[in-house]
Structure 1
Amino acid sequence: MKNTYIEQVDEKWREGFAKLVDVVESNLPEGFEQSMYYDMISYVVPFSTYPKGYHVTPNTPLPFISLAAQKRHIAVYHMGIYADQALLSWFQEEYAKRVPTKLNMGKSCIRFTSTKNIPYELIGELVSKMTPAQWITKYEGELNK
């Protein structure tokens, strides 16, 4: 599933994208599960851990991180930075210190328009900062606001 996706990634993105997948998988806390959702490689909290699933589509597990190679960029969708202002601030500050280009992001989407400027080490640190239990607590706290 993951390898099939990577094989289909445009050649100009493939090596950088494959490295990004490896970095995420080697730094992600235990308990997340790799799957394919929304035509992206996704890391989710499995139903065995969180049976309620995602409130928007309860028949899918709770999403945490998704990776996509788009036509014009590589995208990292990190739900933790969308829900946790402290984590978002940390990431923005560290990005500014470590990367010479301006941060290109939406609410949960970090976009890289060049593989030369992907801060792999920083992405590894980012994905390591939240366990499934912490993500569930943050997610449920946001739902109850």
Structure 2
Amino acid sequence: MNDAAVLTAARPPTAPHLDLGRRGEQMAARYLQKQGFIVLSRNWRCREGELDLVVTDRNTLVVCEVKTRAGDRFGDPTEAVTPAKVARIRRITGQWLSAHCVNWCTVRFDVIAIVLAPPGAMCLRHYPGAF
């Protein structure tokens, strides 16, 4: 068996909800780029958690939480952005600013909610300044 086969065989399959989340983040990044934003970070991680997207329009730094659902069975995607999650995103944003030596800028927090249902259809809603 060659090295490539060993590496491929050792990689565990990805959970479907993680694939859905990645797809949603890709769609959100493309949407924001079409709106004129520049993507600075995707899935930026630190000890406390992760920022889905950090973008800029050259005037404002926008931290965007992306929530993707395969349907409405579990409610609207925005319902998952709880006050505790908002507080964590704000703390992580401070760490992103520090890690990237950004001393001062206007920061806005957005939510992008994506519902992919029925198959092949997509509904993307952008909530600027959502929290």
Class of the TM-score when normalised by the shorter of the 2 chains = 0.3 to 0.5
- TM norm structure 1: 0.35
Higher relative contact order (CA 8 A, sep 6+): 1
Higher strand share: 2
- TM norm structure 2: 0.38
Structure number with greater Rg is 2
